[in-house]
Amino acid sequence: MTELIKYTAAETAGAIAKGEVSAVEVAQAHLDRIDAVDKKVNAFLHVDTDGALAAARAVDEKRAKGEELGPLAGVPLALKDVFTTKGVPTTCGSKMLEGWIPPYDATLTTRLKDAGVVILGKTNMDEFAMGSSTENSAYGPTGNPWDLTRIPGGSGGGSAAALAAFEAPLAIGTDTGGSIRQPGAVTGTVGVKPTYGSVSRYGLVAFSSSLDQGGPCARTVLDAALLHEAIAGHDPLDSTSIDAPVPAVVEAARMRDVRGMRIGVVKEFAGEGYQAGVMQRFDESVELLRELGAEVVEVSCPSFTLALPAYYLIAPSECSSNLARFDAMRYGLRVGDDGTRSAEEVTALTREAGFGDEVKRRIILGTYALSSGYYDAYYGSAQKVRTLISRDFDTAFAGVDVLVSPTTPTTAFPIGERADDPMAMYLADLCTIPSNLAGNAAMSLPVGLAPEDNLPVGLQIIAPAMADDRLYRVGGAVEAALNDKWGHTLLEEAPAL
Amino acid sequence: MPGITREEVAHLARLSRLELKPEELDHFAEQLDVIIGAVARVSEVAGQDVPPTSHPLPLTNVMRADEVRPSLTPEQALSGAPAAEEQRFRVPQILGED
C-alpha cells in the first residue's frame, strides 16, 4: 500500500481506471503519508481530509457506473494556498487571512475538480507569494525533504516539498519571479511557468498582476504536462486570459526526441555567484543535449543583467496597489476596532498586525517607486528594461528553439541564512525573472545533485510565449536520458523521512 | 541617486496605511536603502529611447455581454466580514464627529 505514494500521476490514473486500486485507497494512502511526515516537513497549512475522500469517492462511483474518467481522475494534488477554494480556508501564508473561508472557487480550482483531481489540502508559501524560501510564511517555514534544515525554495515551497516528500504526486504553484521553478530546482522536482495568460488568474490572490502565473508542479515531465493540459485554457472571468488553443504539451512530453532542435545557452547566467556543482551539472546537461542530437549555441542577452533590479521595482509597485484591498473592512483580519478609532486608524493597525516584514518592505518600496519625483527614474526605467528584455528574447528565439540555463545560482541554502538579508534572498531568482517580465514559458527539471552538498540542481528551459510544448519536448528527452543513465529517478536518492 | 531616509519611510508607511513601530522604521529604512541602491541600476536606461512595457500582453478592454448571471448571495458576500449589519459591511467611523 505504501508504494501507492511512489506512483506517478499517470500511473495512478491508469491504475484507478483499470480498477487495480480505488481512488479512495489512493487518497487514503496520501493522507496517511501526510499524517506520518508533515509534522517534520510542514508542507501543508490545511489538510482537507473529508473533501479529499469525498472527491475520491465520486471518482470511484463514476467508474462503477461505467462513465469515462479523465486522464487525472482520482490523482491527489497539493494546492498552493493562494488559490481560493470554496468552503476551505485560504490564507496565502498570512495572518491577514487567517480563518478566511472563500465563498467561491478559483477557475483553476474548478478545473481541477472537474478533472476529478483529488485536492488533499492547501500548501505553505511565503506570505502572499513574496519570497524565495517559504520562511516568510506566518505559519512557520517548510523543510526541504532532502535536508529538513534547508529551505524548499519559495514562494511555493510547500507545493514542491509535498512532491519531494511523496505527500502528493501533483501540486499547483504560482510563478511571479520564479516561485514555481526555483522550489522545483532545489527539491529535485519539475515545475513549469506556463506562458503568461494561459492559466486563469481568477481566484488567484493577486501579488503582481502582470507577472503572476499559475502552473503545474510534479515529479515527472509527463505528469506536469497532464496537469498543464488540465488547468490551461481561456477563461472569460480573467481579462488577461489568452483565447487560443493550449499547445500540445502532453504529446510533446512523450516525444523524447530533441534531434534537430536548436538550443541556446544564455551566456549571462554564469560566473560569479554560481555554485561550482550547479554549473557542473548544468554543463553536463548541455553536453547531454548535444549527444541527444540537438544543436547547441551560445546566446547573449545583455539586458538580463538588469532583470533583477527591474523586477524589484515592478513587482513591489504592483503589490503595493494590489494589497491595498486588505483594509480590514470586508474580509480578513480587523484589529483595534474598539469604538474609539476611525476606519483609517483601524486599517493601519490591522495592516501592521496582519502583514509580515517582507510584505511591508515591498509595499513601502512599491509606494516609493510609484511616488511622484521617483516614478520616471524607477518605475518608468524598469518598464523600459522590460521592453529590452523582451527584445533580447525575440532576438535569441529568432535563432534557437529554446534557451537553457541553471534554474538557480545555488542549491538549497540553510533556513535562516538569508532570512533578514533581502538582497541575498532576491538573488535566488536571478535566472527565473526574465521570463516573468517577458511573459514567456519556462520549466525547471532536476538534472542531478551538486557534488559538494548532494543537493538537487535544476535545469531551466525557456521557450517563446505559446510554445510551451517545446519545454516538454526538451524536458522529456533530458529526463528520460538521465533516468536511463542513473537507473532510477533522482528522488529515489532522497533520504527517508 | 539618493538613498532613502527614516523620515521618508515613515511618510511612505503612512501613505500605505501601515502603522509601523519605531524599531521597524529603523530596520526597514536601513534595508530599503540597500535595496534601492541596488535597483537604482535600472536608471542606466532612463535616457534611452525605448517604449515602456507595462504588461506582457497587448491589452485592450475585454467586455462581456451585460447579462444577469448567478452570483454570490448577500450572506456569502458578507461571510468573511469582520462585522456586518443588515446585509451591509459594518465599518468603524469614517467621518469626524462634527
Q: Give the closest residue to A457 by CA, choosing from A298, A283, A226, A287.
A: A283
Positions of A annotated as catalytic residues are 80, 155, 179
Separation CA B39–CA A344 (nearest Å): 31
Q: What is the mean pLDDT of residues A280-293?
A: 98
Q: With an 8 Å Cβ cutoff, is A7 touching chain B? A: no
Residue A135's CATH number: 3.90.1300.10
Among B35, B36, B42, the residue to mutate for chain A (most A Cβ within 10 A): B42
Q: Test A382 with B42 for CB contact under 8 angstroms.
A: yes
Instruction: Give the three cell numbers for residue B72.
Output: 454570490
Separation CA A358–CA A60 (nearest Å): 44
Choice among A88-97, A373-382, B6-15 with the minimum mean pLDDT: A373-382
A346 contacts in B (CB within 8 Å)? 92
For A427, the domain range is: 2-303+387-493
Query: A 285-314 residues with CB below 8 A of B?
Result: 306, 309-310, 312-313
What is the pLDDT, as a whole number, of residue A1? 45
Say how many residues make up chain B.
98
What is the pLDDT, as a whole number, of residue A372? 87
Query: For A167-177, what is each residue's pLDDT tens digit?
Result: 999 999 999 99
Task: Out of A210, A333, A360, name the one closest to residue B56 (CB).
Answer: A210
**Domain tally for chain A?**
1
Query: For A403-443, what is each residue's pLDDT tens digit?
Result: 999 999 999 999 999 998 999 999 999 999 999 999 999 99
Q: Grid coordinates 503582481 are at which residue?
A: A208
Instruction: Give the three cell numbers for residue A460.
Output: 531551466
Query: For A69-102, what is each residue's pLDDT tens digit?
Result: 999 999 999 999 999 999 999 999 999 999 999 9
Residue A330 maps to a domain: no
Q: Does domain B6-45 fall into CATH 1.10.20? A: yes
Task: Out of A306, A327, A423, name the one closest to residue B35 (CB).
Answer: A423
Exposed, middle or buried: residue B61 (CB in 10 Å: 0-12, 13-18, 19+)? Answer: exposed
Question: Binning pLDDT at 50, 70 and 90, where does residue A490 land?
Answer: very high
Give the residue on B whose Cα is nearest the Cα of A360: B18
Q: With an 8 Å Cβ cutoff, is A337 touching chain B? A: yes
Instruction: Give the three cell numbers for residue A466.
Output: 505559446
Query: A 57-86 residues with CB below 8 A of B?
Result: none
A439 contacts in B (CB within 8 Å)? 56-57
B76 contacts in A (CB within 8 Å)? 103-104
DSSP string, A344-376: HHHHHHHHHHHS-HHHHHHHHHHHHHTSTTTTI
Q: Tell me, what DSSP letter sits at residue A177?
A: S
Give the gap in angstroms from C-alpha B97 to the nearest C-alpha of chain A. Answer: 11
Q: For chain A, give the percent of residues with pLDDT over 90.
A: 98
Separation CA A222–CA A225 (nearest Å): 5
Q: Grid coordinates 510584505 are at which residue?
A: A359
Q: With an 8 Å Cβ cutoff, is A434 touching chain B? A: no
Residue A287 maps to a domain: yes
Provide the terminal-to-terminal Cα distance of chain A, rounded to the nearest Å: 17
Phi and psi angles of residue A187, each rounded to the nearest 5 degrees, phi first: -110, 0
- Domains of chain B by residue range: 6-45
Q: Is the ipTM of this complex over 0.85?
A: yes
Helix, strand, coil percentages for chain A (3-state, nearest 5): 45, 15, 40
Q: Give the closest residue to A198 by CA, choosing from A469, A451, A496.
A: A469
Q: Test A363 with B18 for CB contact under 8 angstroms.
A: yes
Residue B96 has pLDDT above 80, yes or no: no
In the A/B pair of chains, how many CB contacts fall below 8 A? 181
Give the residue on B whose Cα is nearest the Cα of A236: B64
Q: Give the closest residue to A70 by CA, choosing from A26, A12, A5.
A: A12
Q: Test A352 with B91 for CB contact under 8 angstroms.
A: no
Residue A311 maps to a domain: no
Q: Test A103 with B72 for CB contact under 8 angstroms.
A: yes
